[in-house]
Chain A
Amino acid sequence: MKVLRRRVDPLDYAGRIWMRAFFGLVFILLYAPVVLMMAFSFNDSRRNIVWRGFTTKYYEKAWNNDGLIEAFVNSLTIAAINTVVATILGAMVALLLWRFRFPFKSAYEGFMALPIVIPEICMGVAMLAFFSRIGWPTGMPWPLNLSAITIAHIAFSFPFVAIVVRARMAGFNRELEEASRDLGASEWQTFWHVIFPYMRPGLVAGALLAFTLSLDDFVITFFTSGPETVTFPVKVYSMVRFSVTPEVNAASTVLVVITLIVAALMLRVQRQGQEGSP
Protein backbone atom coordinates (compact mmCIF):
# COMPACT_ATOMS: atom_id res chain seq x y z
CA MET A 1 0.00 0.00 0.00
CA LYS A 2 2.83 2.31 0.86
CA VAL A 3 4.21 2.07 -2.66
CA LEU A 4 0.93 3.23 -4.15
CA ARG A 5 0.85 6.41 -2.10
CA ARG A 6 1.75 9.46 -4.07
CA ARG A 7 5.27 10.37 -3.10
CA VAL A 8 5.45 13.87 -1.68
CA ASP A 9 8.72 15.69 -1.86
CA PRO A 10 9.51 16.56 1.79
CA LEU A 11 10.30 20.13 0.77
CA ASP A 12 7.28 20.62 -1.48
CA TYR A 13 5.31 22.49 1.17
CA ALA A 14 3.25 24.35 -1.37
CA GLY A 15 2.09 21.03 -2.82
CA ARG A 16 0.53 19.71 0.37
CA ILE A 17 -3.21 19.57 0.33
CA TRP A 18 -3.71 21.01 3.81
CA MET A 19 -1.32 23.86 3.18
CA ARG A 20 -3.15 24.69 -0.03
CA ALA A 21 -6.48 24.40 1.75
CA PHE A 22 -5.28 26.81 4.43
CA PHE A 23 -4.07 29.28 1.82
CA GLY A 24 -7.40 29.01 0.00
CA LEU A 25 -9.32 29.61 3.21
CA VAL A 26 -7.29 32.72 4.07
CA PHE A 27 -7.71 33.95 0.51
CA ILE A 28 -11.49 33.54 0.73
CA LEU A 29 -11.69 35.23 4.13
CA LEU A 30 -9.57 38.11 2.85
CA TYR A 31 -11.82 38.79 -0.11
CA ALA A 32 -15.27 37.60 0.97
CA PRO A 33 -16.32 40.70 2.94
CA VAL A 34 -15.45 43.13 0.14
CA VAL A 35 -16.80 40.89 -2.63
CA LEU A 36 -20.05 40.36 -0.73
CA MET A 37 -20.34 44.10 -0.17
CA MET A 38 -19.88 44.72 -3.89
CA ALA A 39 -22.31 41.98 -4.89
CA PHE A 40 -25.02 43.09 -2.49
CA SER A 41 -24.83 46.66 -3.74
CA PHE A 42 -26.82 45.23 -6.67
CA ASN A 43 -29.32 43.46 -4.42
CA ASP A 44 -32.90 44.58 -4.72
CA SER A 45 -33.55 44.70 -1.00
CA ARG A 46 -32.87 47.31 1.60
CA ARG A 47 -32.08 45.31 4.71
CA ASN A 48 -31.99 41.67 3.87
CA ILE A 49 -28.89 39.67 3.13
CA VAL A 50 -30.88 37.30 0.96
CA TRP A 51 -30.58 37.84 -2.77
CA ARG A 52 -33.79 39.42 -4.10
CA GLY A 53 -32.83 40.21 -7.65
CA PHE A 54 -30.52 42.51 -9.58
CA THR A 55 -30.92 46.26 -9.45
CA THR A 56 -28.85 49.36 -10.04
CA LYS A 57 -31.22 51.65 -8.20
CA TYR A 58 -28.76 52.21 -5.33
CA TYR A 59 -26.22 53.46 -7.83
CA GLU A 60 -28.81 55.89 -9.12
CA LYS A 61 -29.54 56.93 -5.56
CA ALA A 62 -25.85 57.44 -4.84
CA TRP A 63 -25.55 59.39 -8.10
CA ASN A 64 -28.43 61.66 -7.08
CA ASN A 65 -27.00 62.23 -3.61
CA ASP A 66 -25.49 65.69 -4.08
CA GLY A 67 -23.39 65.50 -0.92
CA LEU A 68 -21.84 62.24 -2.04
CA ILE A 69 -21.06 63.48 -5.54
CA GLU A 70 -19.58 66.70 -4.18
CA ALA A 71 -17.37 64.68 -1.83
CA PHE A 72 -16.35 62.48 -4.74
CA VAL A 73 -15.39 65.45 -6.91
CA ASN A 74 -13.43 66.89 -3.97
CA SER A 75 -11.57 63.60 -3.53
CA LEU A 76 -10.67 63.38 -7.21
CA THR A 77 -9.52 67.01 -7.27
CA ILE A 78 -7.31 66.55 -4.21
CA ALA A 79 -5.95 63.27 -5.58
CA ALA A 80 -5.12 64.88 -8.94
CA ILE A 81 -3.24 67.86 -7.46
CA ASN A 82 -1.57 65.58 -4.92
CA THR A 83 -0.42 63.25 -7.68
CA VAL A 84 1.31 65.99 -9.65
CA VAL A 85 3.02 67.71 -6.71
CA ALA A 86 3.93 64.53 -4.81
CA THR A 87 5.41 62.92 -7.92
CA ILE A 88 7.62 65.93 -8.62
CA LEU A 89 8.76 66.28 -4.98
CA GLY A 90 9.24 62.52 -4.58
CA ALA A 91 11.25 62.24 -7.80
CA MET A 92 13.53 65.09 -6.74
CA VAL A 93 14.20 63.51 -3.37
CA ALA A 94 14.79 60.14 -5.04
CA LEU A 95 17.32 61.68 -7.45
CA LEU A 96 19.01 63.48 -4.58
CA LEU A 97 19.43 60.30 -2.56
CA TRP A 98 20.43 58.30 -5.61
CA ARG A 99 23.02 60.72 -6.88
CA PHE A 100 24.68 62.48 -3.98
CA ARG A 101 26.77 61.63 -0.99
CA PHE A 102 26.30 64.18 1.77
CA PRO A 103 26.77 64.51 5.53
CA PHE A 104 24.01 63.07 7.74
CA LYS A 105 22.54 61.25 4.77
CA SER A 106 21.10 58.38 6.80
CA ALA A 107 19.53 60.86 9.22
CA TYR A 108 18.00 62.63 6.23
CA GLU A 109 16.62 59.34 4.94
CA GLY A 110 15.10 58.71 8.36
CA PHE A 111 13.53 62.16 8.26
CA MET A 112 12.02 61.37 4.86
CA ALA A 113 10.61 58.09 6.17
CA LEU A 114 9.02 59.78 9.19
CA PRO A 115 5.61 60.45 7.60
CA ILE A 116 5.46 56.77 6.64
CA VAL A 117 6.24 55.36 10.07
CA ILE A 118 4.44 57.61 12.53
CA PRO A 119 0.88 56.59 13.42
CA GLU A 120 -1.66 58.17 11.08
CA ILE A 121 -3.65 59.58 13.95
CA CYS A 122 -0.61 61.52 15.23
CA MET A 123 -0.12 63.07 11.82
CA GLY A 124 -3.84 63.80 11.64
CA VAL A 125 -3.95 65.70 14.91
CA ALA A 126 -0.70 67.49 14.00
CA MET A 127 -2.32 68.77 10.82
CA LEU A 128 -5.45 69.79 12.73
CA ALA A 129 -3.38 71.70 15.30
CA PHE A 130 -1.16 73.27 12.63
CA PHE A 131 -3.89 74.61 10.38
CA SER A 132 -5.95 75.99 13.24
CA ARG A 133 -2.93 77.54 15.04
CA ILE A 134 -1.54 79.37 12.06
CA GLY A 135 -5.05 80.45 11.13
CA TRP A 136 -5.16 78.88 7.70
CA PRO A 137 -7.98 80.67 5.87
CA THR A 138 -11.20 78.71 5.73
CA GLY A 139 -14.28 79.30 3.65
CA MET A 140 -12.32 80.07 0.50
CA PRO A 141 -13.94 79.35 -2.88
CA TRP A 142 -13.52 75.89 -4.38
CA PRO A 143 -10.94 74.45 -4.97
CA LEU A 144 -8.85 76.65 -2.66
CA ASN A 145 -10.84 75.41 0.33
CA LEU A 146 -9.29 72.00 -0.29
CA SER A 147 -5.75 73.37 0.09
CA ALA A 148 -5.23 72.23 3.69
CA ILE A 149 -6.20 68.63 2.90
CA THR A 150 -4.11 68.67 -0.28
CA ILE A 151 -1.04 69.96 1.59
CA ALA A 152 -1.41 67.21 4.19
CA HIS A 153 -1.83 64.55 1.49
CA ILE A 154 1.29 65.71 -0.33
CA ALA A 155 3.27 65.60 2.93
CA PHE A 156 2.49 61.94 3.55
CA SER A 157 2.49 60.67 -0.03
CA PHE A 158 5.66 62.11 -1.58
CA PRO A 159 8.01 60.04 0.64
CA PHE A 160 6.28 56.94 -0.79
CA VAL A 161 6.88 58.22 -4.32
CA ALA A 162 10.54 58.81 -3.41
CA ILE A 163 10.91 55.16 -2.33
CA VAL A 164 9.34 53.83 -5.53
CA VAL A 165 11.40 56.08 -7.82
CA ARG A 166 14.61 55.40 -5.92
CA ALA A 167 14.04 51.65 -6.23
CA ARG A 168 13.73 52.15 -9.98
CA MET A 169 16.92 54.25 -10.14
CA ALA A 170 18.89 51.57 -8.28
CA GLY A 171 18.98 49.62 -11.54
CA PHE A 172 20.32 52.52 -13.60
CA ASN A 173 23.76 52.18 -15.11
CA ARG A 174 25.65 55.27 -13.94
CA GLU A 175 28.11 54.96 -16.80
CA LEU A 176 25.39 56.16 -19.15
CA GLU A 177 25.17 59.38 -17.20
CA GLU A 178 28.95 59.79 -17.21
CA ALA A 179 29.10 59.05 -20.93
CA SER A 180 26.47 61.68 -21.57
CA ARG A 181 28.44 64.28 -19.59
CA ASP A 182 31.70 63.30 -21.28
CA LEU A 183 30.08 63.80 -24.65
CA GLY A 184 29.32 67.37 -23.67
CA ALA A 185 25.69 67.22 -22.61
CA SER A 186 24.61 69.71 -20.01
CA GLU A 187 23.13 68.76 -16.64
CA TRP A 188 19.60 69.31 -17.94
CA GLN A 189 20.21 67.51 -21.26
CA THR A 190 21.61 64.52 -19.40
CA PHE A 191 18.58 64.45 -17.16
CA TRP A 192 16.04 64.88 -19.90
CA HIS A 193 17.52 62.51 -22.50
CA VAL A 194 19.29 59.89 -20.39
CA ILE A 195 17.95 59.71 -16.84
CA PHE A 196 14.31 60.67 -17.36
CA PRO A 197 13.47 57.98 -19.95
CA TYR A 198 14.83 55.34 -17.59
CA MET A 199 13.03 56.85 -14.61
CA ARG A 200 9.64 57.06 -16.33
CA PRO A 201 8.14 53.70 -15.24
CA GLY A 202 9.12 54.52 -11.66
CA LEU A 203 7.49 57.94 -12.00
CA VAL A 204 4.26 56.49 -13.36
CA ALA A 205 4.17 53.84 -10.64
CA GLY A 206 4.88 56.48 -7.99
CA ALA A 207 2.19 58.77 -9.40
CA LEU A 208 -0.40 56.00 -9.34
CA LEU A 209 0.58 55.15 -5.78
CA ALA A 210 0.25 58.80 -4.75
CA PHE A 211 -3.18 58.91 -6.42
CA THR A 212 -4.55 55.91 -4.52
CA LEU A 213 -2.95 56.98 -1.23
CA SER A 214 -4.73 60.29 -1.50
CA LEU A 215 -8.03 58.83 -2.68
CA ASP A 216 -8.04 56.23 0.10
CA ASP A 217 -6.87 58.30 3.02
CA PHE A 218 -9.40 58.62 5.76
CA VAL A 219 -7.69 59.22 9.10
CA ILE A 220 -5.54 62.24 8.21
CA THR A 221 -8.28 63.80 6.07
CA PHE A 222 -10.80 63.26 8.86
CA PHE A 223 -8.81 65.66 11.06
CA THR A 224 -7.98 68.16 8.31
CA SER A 225 -11.39 68.47 6.71
CA GLY A 226 -14.02 70.91 7.81
CA PRO A 227 -17.79 70.84 7.37
CA GLU A 228 -17.42 72.52 3.97
CA THR A 229 -14.64 70.28 2.73
CA VAL A 230 -15.76 66.67 2.79
CA THR A 231 -13.92 64.00 0.86
CA PHE A 232 -15.41 60.73 -0.30
CA PRO A 233 -14.06 58.52 2.54
CA VAL A 234 -15.09 61.11 5.13
CA LYS A 235 -18.59 61.24 3.62
CA VAL A 236 -18.83 57.45 3.55
CA TYR A 237 -17.72 57.42 7.19
CA SER A 238 -20.46 59.81 8.23
CA MET A 239 -23.00 57.70 6.32
CA VAL A 240 -21.70 54.47 7.87
CA ARG A 241 -22.08 55.93 11.35
CA PHE A 242 -25.82 55.88 10.84
CA SER A 243 -26.34 52.51 9.22
CA VAL A 244 -25.20 50.03 6.62
CA THR A 245 -27.21 50.96 3.54
CA PRO A 246 -27.00 49.63 -0.01
CA GLU A 247 -26.32 53.21 -1.11
CA VAL A 248 -23.05 53.23 0.83
CA ASN A 249 -22.28 49.81 -0.64
CA ALA A 250 -22.78 51.21 -4.13
CA ALA A 251 -20.56 54.23 -3.46
CA SER A 252 -17.88 52.04 -1.89
CA THR A 253 -18.00 49.66 -4.83
CA VAL A 254 -17.25 52.54 -7.19
CA LEU A 255 -14.23 53.54 -5.10
CA VAL A 256 -12.95 49.94 -4.92
CA VAL A 257 -13.26 49.57 -8.69
CA ILE A 258 -11.32 52.82 -9.28
CA THR A 259 -8.62 51.65 -6.88
CA LEU A 260 -8.34 48.27 -8.55
CA ILE A 261 -8.04 49.85 -12.00
CA VAL A 262 -5.22 52.08 -10.74
CA ALA A 263 -3.52 49.08 -9.09
CA ALA A 264 -3.75 47.10 -12.33
CA LEU A 265 -2.26 50.04 -14.27
CA MET A 266 0.59 50.28 -11.79
CA LEU A 267 1.37 46.57 -12.10
CA ARG A 268 1.39 46.86 -15.87
CA VAL A 269 3.76 49.81 -15.79
CA GLN A 270 6.12 48.04 -13.40
CA ARG A 271 6.07 44.92 -15.52
CA GLN A 272 6.88 46.90 -18.66
CA GLY A 273 9.64 48.65 -16.77
CA GLN A 274 11.17 45.31 -15.82
CA GLU A 275 10.97 44.05 -19.38
CA GLY A 276 12.37 47.26 -20.81
CA SER A 277 15.52 47.25 -18.69
CA PRO A 278 18.36 44.84 -19.30
Chain B
Amino acid sequence: MESFRKNQGVFWILAGPGSLWLLFFFLVPLGIVWILSFGEKAVIDGKVSITETEITWTLANYVRALADPVYLVIMWKSAWISALATTLCLIIAYPVAFVIAFASPRWRPWLLLAVILPFWINLLIRTYALIAVFRIRGYVNFTLEWTYDSLWLDRLFGPFEPLELLYNDFAVVAGLVYVFMPFMVLPLFASIERLDRSMLEASLDLGASQMATFLRVTVPLTMPGIISGVILVFIPCLGSFLTADLLGGTNATMIGNVIERQFKAANDWPFGAALSFLLMYVTFGALALRALLSRDAGMRT
Protein backbone atom coordinates (compact mmCIF):
# COMPACT_ATOMS: atom_id res chain seq x y z
CA MET B 1 0.00 0.00 0.00
CA GLU B 2 1.42 3.34 -0.93
CA SER B 3 1.12 6.63 0.87
CA PHE B 4 -1.37 9.09 -0.64
CA ARG B 5 1.39 11.71 -0.77
CA LYS B 6 3.31 9.79 -3.41
CA ASN B 7 0.54 10.02 -5.94
CA GLN B 8 -1.76 12.82 -4.97
CA GLY B 9 -3.33 13.26 -8.40
CA VAL B 10 -4.62 9.71 -8.55
CA PHE B 11 -5.59 9.86 -4.89
CA TRP B 12 -7.84 12.87 -5.28
CA ILE B 13 -9.38 11.61 -8.53
CA LEU B 14 -10.34 8.36 -6.81
CA ALA B 15 -11.42 9.99 -3.53
CA GLY B 16 -13.35 12.92 -4.98
CA PRO B 17 -16.55 11.67 -6.60
CA GLY B 18 -17.61 9.11 -3.96
CA SER B 19 -16.79 11.39 -1.03
CA LEU B 20 -18.61 14.35 -2.54
CA TRP B 21 -21.65 12.26 -3.41
CA LEU B 22 -21.89 10.95 0.13
CA LEU B 23 -21.27 14.40 1.55
CA PHE B 24 -23.96 16.14 -0.49
CA PHE B 25 -26.57 13.43 -0.79
CA PHE B 26 -26.17 11.69 2.53
CA LEU B 27 -24.40 13.75 5.20
CA VAL B 28 -26.10 17.04 4.30
CA PRO B 29 -29.58 15.42 4.33
CA LEU B 30 -28.84 13.87 7.71
CA GLY B 31 -27.59 17.26 8.92
CA ILE B 32 -30.85 18.86 7.80
CA VAL B 33 -32.84 16.29 9.76
CA TRP B 34 -30.59 16.87 12.78
CA ILE B 35 -31.20 20.62 12.65
CA LEU B 36 -34.92 20.06 12.07
CA SER B 37 -35.07 18.02 15.25
CA PHE B 38 -34.37 21.21 17.20
CA GLY B 39 -37.15 23.11 15.49
CA GLU B 40 -40.82 23.67 16.05
CA LYS B 41 -43.79 24.49 13.91
CA ALA B 42 -43.66 28.11 12.93
CA VAL B 43 -46.29 30.48 14.22
CA ILE B 44 -47.40 32.84 11.46
CA ASP B 45 -49.95 35.58 12.29
CA GLY B 46 -50.76 33.89 15.58
CA LYS B 47 -51.62 30.58 13.94
CA VAL B 48 -49.55 27.40 14.02
CA SER B 49 -48.46 26.76 10.46
CA ILE B 50 -48.90 23.29 8.99
CA THR B 51 -46.02 23.39 6.59
CA GLU B 52 -43.45 25.87 7.91
CA THR B 53 -40.99 24.98 10.61
CA GLU B 54 -38.78 27.30 12.56
CA ILE B 55 -35.44 26.32 14.02
CA THR B 56 -35.50 27.54 17.60
CA TRP B 57 -32.94 25.10 19.02
CA THR B 58 -35.53 23.80 21.40
CA LEU B 59 -35.15 20.41 23.03
CA ALA B 60 -38.93 20.03 23.27
CA ASN B 61 -39.07 17.33 20.59
CA TYR B 62 -36.60 15.14 22.43
CA VAL B 63 -38.34 15.77 25.74
CA ARG B 64 -41.65 14.86 24.15
CA ALA B 65 -40.20 11.66 22.69
CA LEU B 66 -38.61 10.59 25.94
CA ALA B 67 -41.21 11.79 28.44
CA ASP B 68 -44.61 11.46 26.80
CA PRO B 69 -46.06 8.10 27.96
CA VAL B 70 -47.64 7.51 24.54
CA TYR B 71 -44.24 7.42 22.86
CA LEU B 72 -42.49 5.70 25.75
CA VAL B 73 -44.96 2.83 25.42
CA ILE B 74 -44.31 2.58 21.68
CA MET B 75 -40.53 2.64 22.16
CA TRP B 76 -40.70 0.04 24.88
CA LYS B 77 -42.92 -2.10 22.66
CA SER B 78 -40.58 -1.71 19.67
CA ALA B 79 -37.69 -2.80 21.89
CA TRP B 80 -39.36 -5.93 23.22
CA ILE B 81 -40.85 -6.94 19.87
CA SER B 82 -37.37 -6.59 18.32
CA ALA B 83 -35.79 -8.48 21.23
CA LEU B 84 -38.32 -11.29 20.95
CA ALA B 85 -37.86 -11.53 17.18
CA THR B 86 -34.06 -11.54 17.63
CA THR B 87 -34.23 -14.31 20.23
CA LEU B 88 -36.46 -16.43 17.99
CA CYS B 89 -34.09 -15.82 15.08
CA LEU B 90 -31.16 -17.00 17.21
CA ILE B 91 -32.98 -20.16 18.34
CA ILE B 92 -33.96 -21.02 14.77
CA ALA B 93 -30.75 -19.94 13.05
CA TYR B 94 -28.27 -21.69 15.36
CA PRO B 95 -29.19 -25.27 14.34
CA VAL B 96 -29.50 -24.15 10.72
CA ALA B 97 -25.99 -22.64 10.77
CA PHE B 98 -24.74 -25.77 12.53
CA VAL B 99 -26.08 -28.06 9.82
CA ILE B 100 -24.52 -25.90 7.10
CA ALA B 101 -21.14 -25.66 8.84
CA PHE B 102 -20.97 -29.41 9.44
CA ALA B 103 -22.29 -30.44 6.01
CA SER B 104 -19.90 -31.91 3.46
CA PRO B 105 -17.91 -29.28 1.52
CA ARG B 106 -19.77 -30.19 -1.65
CA TRP B 107 -23.13 -29.34 -0.10
CA ARG B 108 -22.10 -26.38 2.01
CA PRO B 109 -22.25 -23.57 -0.58
CA TRP B 110 -25.65 -24.74 -1.81
CA LEU B 111 -27.15 -24.93 1.66
CA LEU B 112 -25.77 -21.48 2.43
CA LEU B 113 -27.20 -20.17 -0.83
CA ALA B 114 -30.59 -21.67 0.03
CA VAL B 115 -30.68 -19.62 3.22
CA ILE B 116 -29.34 -16.38 1.70
CA LEU B 117 -31.40 -16.38 -1.49
CA PRO B 118 -34.55 -14.96 0.16
CA PHE B 119 -32.47 -11.83 0.88
CA TRP B 120 -32.53 -11.05 -2.78
CA ILE B 121 -36.27 -11.17 -2.95
CA ASN B 122 -37.93 -7.85 -2.35
CA LEU B 123 -38.67 -7.16 1.31
CA LEU B 124 -42.08 -5.79 0.43
CA ILE B 125 -43.01 -8.91 -1.55
CA ARG B 126 -41.84 -11.25 1.18
CA THR B 127 -43.86 -9.34 3.77
CA TYR B 128 -46.83 -9.19 1.47
CA ALA B 129 -46.62 -12.94 0.82
CA LEU B 130 -47.10 -13.48 4.56
CA ILE B 131 -50.49 -11.77 4.45
CA ALA B 132 -51.81 -14.60 2.29
CA VAL B 133 -50.39 -17.08 4.80
CA PHE B 134 -51.82 -15.55 7.94
CA ARG B 135 -55.13 -13.96 6.91
CA ILE B 136 -58.47 -15.38 8.02
CA ARG B 137 -58.87 -17.35 4.80
CA GLY B 138 -55.13 -17.92 4.50
CA TYR B 139 -52.99 -21.02 4.26
CA VAL B 140 -52.50 -21.51 8.01
CA ASN B 141 -56.18 -21.34 8.80
CA PHE B 142 -56.98 -23.44 5.75
CA THR B 143 -54.60 -26.19 6.89
CA LEU B 144 -55.87 -26.02 10.45
CA GLU B 145 -59.49 -26.24 9.30
CA TRP B 146 -58.71 -29.19 7.08
CA THR B 147 -56.98 -31.01 9.96
CA TYR B 148 -59.80 -30.09 12.31
CA ASP B 149 -62.43 -31.45 9.93
CA SER B 150 -60.43 -34.59 9.11
CA LEU B 151 -60.25 -35.41 12.79
CA TRP B 152 -64.03 -35.01 12.97
CA LEU B 153 -63.56 -32.39 15.64
CA ASP B 154 -66.21 -30.28 13.96
CA ARG B 155 -68.81 -32.86 14.88
CA LEU B 156 -67.69 -32.78 18.49
CA PHE B 157 -67.05 -29.09 19.10
CA GLY B 158 -68.87 -27.35 16.30
CA PRO B 159 -67.45 -25.69 13.19
CA PHE B 160 -63.85 -24.46 12.99
CA GLU B 161 -63.22 -20.93 14.19
CA PRO B 162 -60.41 -19.38 12.13
CA LEU B 163 -57.59 -17.84 14.14
CA GLU B 164 -56.96 -14.11 13.99
CA LEU B 165 -53.31 -14.29 13.00
CA LEU B 166 -52.97 -10.99 11.20
CA TYR B 167 -52.89 -7.39 12.43
CA ASN B 168 -51.50 -8.07 15.89
CA ASP B 169 -48.14 -8.31 17.64
CA PHE B 170 -47.81 -11.99 16.81
CA ALA B 171 -47.90 -11.20 13.08
CA VAL B 172 -45.25 -8.48 13.49
CA VAL B 173 -42.88 -10.80 15.38
CA ALA B 174 -43.45 -13.62 12.88
CA GLY B 175 -42.86 -11.22 10.00
CA LEU B 176 -39.63 -9.88 11.49
CA VAL B 177 -38.32 -13.40 12.13
CA TYR B 178 -39.22 -14.46 8.61
CA VAL B 179 -37.61 -11.44 6.98
CA PHE B 180 -34.42 -11.12 9.04
CA MET B 181 -33.56 -14.74 9.85
CA PRO B 182 -30.90 -14.99 7.10
CA PHE B 183 -29.04 -12.07 8.77
CA MET B 184 -28.55 -14.31 11.79
CA VAL B 185 -27.40 -17.39 9.90
CA LEU B 186 -24.41 -15.74 8.20
CA PRO B 187 -22.36 -14.60 11.25
CA LEU B 188 -23.29 -17.79 13.13
CA PHE B 189 -22.14 -19.90 10.19
CA ALA B 190 -18.87 -17.96 9.97
CA SER B 191 -18.03 -18.55 13.62
CA ILE B 192 -19.17 -22.19 13.72
CA GLU B 193 -17.15 -22.98 10.61
CA ARG B 194 -14.02 -21.55 12.25
CA LEU B 195 -14.66 -23.63 15.37
CA ASP B 196 -11.75 -25.93 16.21
CA ARG B 197 -13.41 -29.35 15.99
CA SER B 198 -10.72 -30.98 18.10
CA MET B 199 -12.03 -28.97 21.06
CA LEU B 200 -15.41 -30.65 20.69
CA GLU B 201 -13.75 -34.05 20.30
CA ALA B 202 -11.66 -33.45 23.41
CA SER B 203 -14.72 -32.46 25.41
CA LEU B 204 -16.65 -35.55 24.28
CA ASP B 205 -13.66 -37.85 24.85
CA LEU B 206 -13.24 -36.53 28.36
CA GLY B 207 -16.73 -37.66 29.13
CA ALA B 208 -18.84 -34.53 28.72
CA SER B 209 -22.26 -35.14 27.29
CA GLN B 210 -23.31 -33.60 23.98
CA MET B 211 -25.40 -31.09 25.91
CA ALA B 212 -22.53 -30.10 28.22
CA THR B 213 -20.16 -29.85 25.25
CA PHE B 214 -22.61 -27.61 23.47
CA LEU B 215 -23.23 -25.31 26.42
CA ARG B 216 -19.69 -25.11 27.77
CA VAL B 217 -17.54 -25.40 24.64
CA THR B 218 -19.48 -24.64 21.49
CA VAL B 219 -21.53 -21.69 22.70
CA PRO B 220 -18.62 -19.82 24.35
CA LEU B 221 -16.41 -20.38 21.32
CA THR B 222 -19.05 -19.13 18.90
CA MET B 223 -19.98 -16.15 21.09
CA PRO B 224 -18.55 -13.57 18.62
CA GLY B 225 -20.90 -14.94 15.95
CA ILE B 226 -23.84 -14.90 18.34
CA ILE B 227 -23.15 -11.27 19.33
CA SER B 228 -22.75 -10.19 15.70
CA GLY B 229 -25.91 -11.99 14.68
CA VAL B 230 -27.98 -10.63 17.55
CA ILE B 231 -26.95 -7.05 16.79
CA LEU B 232 -27.30 -7.48 13.02
CA VAL B 233 -30.89 -8.65 13.49
CA PHE B 234 -31.87 -6.36 16.35
CA ILE B 235 -30.91 -3.15 14.52
CA PRO B 236 -33.05 -3.66 11.40
CA CYS B 237 -35.91 -4.99 13.54
CA LEU B 238 -35.87 -1.86 15.66
CA GLY B 239 -35.78 0.38 12.59
CA SER B 240 -38.33 -1.62 10.62
CA PHE B 241 -41.36 0.13 9.27
CA LEU B 242 -42.86 -2.08 6.58
CA THR B 243 -43.48 -5.20 8.68
CA ALA B 244 -45.55 -3.45 11.34
CA ASP B 245 -47.20 -1.34 8.67
CA LEU B 246 -48.47 -4.30 6.63
CA LEU B 247 -48.85 -7.05 9.24
CA GLY B 248 -49.47 -5.10 12.43
CA GLY B 249 -52.81 -3.75 13.45
CA THR B 250 -53.63 -0.24 14.54
CA ASN B 251 -52.10 -0.88 17.96
CA ALA B 252 -49.09 -2.87 16.76
CA THR B 253 -47.00 0.19 15.96
CA MET B 254 -43.23 0.50 16.09
CA ILE B 255 -40.92 3.53 16.15
CA GLY B 256 -40.54 3.37 12.37
CA ASN B 257 -44.29 3.77 11.91
CA VAL B 258 -44.40 6.76 14.25
CA ILE B 259 -41.55 8.41 12.31
CA GLU B 260 -43.31 7.75 9.02
CA ARG B 261 -46.53 9.25 10.37
CA GLN B 262 -44.77 12.43 11.54
CA PHE B 263 -43.29 12.97 8.09
CA LYS B 264 -46.40 12.07 6.12
CA ALA B 265 -49.86 12.13 7.72
CA ALA B 266 -49.20 14.10 10.95
CA ASN B 267 -46.82 16.53 9.23
CA ASP B 268 -44.78 17.18 12.37
CA TRP B 269 -41.30 17.03 10.86
CA PRO B 270 -39.34 18.33 13.87
CA PHE B 271 -40.74 15.61 16.11
CA GLY B 272 -40.20 12.95 13.45
CA ALA B 273 -36.63 14.20 13.02
CA ALA B 274 -35.98 13.92 16.77
CA LEU B 275 -37.37 10.37 16.75
CA SER B 276 -35.19 9.34 13.81
CA PHE B 277 -32.10 10.69 15.52
CA LEU B 278 -32.95 8.83 18.72
CA LEU B 279 -33.31 5.68 16.64
CA MET B 280 -29.96 6.40 15.01
CA TYR B 281 -28.23 6.94 18.37
CA VAL B 282 -29.54 3.57 19.56
CA THR B 283 -28.25 1.99 16.34
CA PHE B 284 -24.79 3.49 16.80
CA GLY B 285 -24.81 2.41 20.44
CA ALA B 286 -25.59 -1.16 19.41
CA LEU B 287 -22.82 -1.10 16.78
CA ALA B 288 -20.31 0.28 19.28
CA LEU B 289 -21.35 -2.43 21.74
CA ARG B 290 -20.77 -5.03 19.04
CA ALA B 291 -17.30 -3.68 18.29
CA LEU B 292 -16.47 -3.64 22.00
CA LEU B 293 -17.80 -7.13 22.70
CA SER B 294 -16.20 -8.71 19.66
CA ARG B 295 -12.86 -7.16 20.63
CA ASP B 296 -13.23 -8.61 24.11
CA ALA B 297 -14.17 -12.01 22.73
CA GLY B 298 -11.24 -11.83 20.34
CA MET B 299 -8.82 -11.10 23.17
CA ARG B 300 -9.92 -14.01 25.31
CA THR B 301 -9.37 -16.68 22.68
Q: Report yes or no: A151 in contact with B200, Cβ–Cβ below 8 A.
A: no
Number of interface residues of B (CB under 8 A): 84
Please report the C-alpha to C-alpha distance between residue A156 and residue B27 in the assembled complex, in whole angstroms: 12
Closest to A251 in B: B125
Q: Report yes or no: B241 in contact with A219, Cβ–Cβ below 8 A.
A: yes
If over half of B's interface residues share one DSSP class (helix, strand or loop), that class is named, otherwise mixed; here it is helix
A214: min CB distance to chain B, Å: 11
Q: Residue B239 contacts which of A31, A121, A159, A187 (CB distance < 8 angstroms)? A: A121
Interface size class of A (residues with CB under 8 A): 35 or more
Contacts of B28 in A (CB 8 A): 130
Q: Mark B241-258, 1 if CB is under 8 A from A, else 0.
A: 110001000000000100
Contacts A30-B115, A236-B125 hold; do A13 and B4 have CB atoms under 8 A apart? no
Q: Residue B131 contacts which of A89, A96, A111, A244 (CB distance < 8 angstroms)? A: A244
Q: Mark A87-119, 1 if CB is under 8 A from B, else 0.
A: 011101101100111100000100110110111
Name 12 interchain pairs, CB-CB below 8 A, sorted by A.
A30-B181, A33-B126, A34-B129, A92-B18, A112-B22, A121-B276, A125-B272, A126-B29, A212-B120, A218-B123, A255-B122, A259-B122
Closest to B104 in A: A14
B250: min CB distance to chain A, Å: 14
Is residue A54 contacting chain B, with contact meaning CB distance below 8 A? no
Q: Which residues of B contact A (CB under 8 A)?
A: 1-4, 7, 10-11, 13-15, 17-19, 21-22, 25-26, 28-30, 32-33, 36, 92, 95-96, 98-104, 111, 113-115, 117-118, 120-126, 128-133, 135, 137-139, 142, 178, 181, 197, 200-201, 204, 210, 235-236, 238-239, 241-242, 246, 256, 259-260, 263, 269, 272-273, 276-277, 279-280, 283, 287
Is residue A23 contacting chain B, with contact meaning CB distance below 8 A? yes
Please report the C-alpha to C-alpha distance between residue A64 and residue B114 in the assembled complex, in whole angstroms: 34
Contacts A117-B287, A119-B283 hold; do A102 and B4 have CB atoms under 8 A apart? yes
Contacts of B102 in A (CB 8 A): 11-14
Contacts of B239 in A (CB 8 A): 119-122
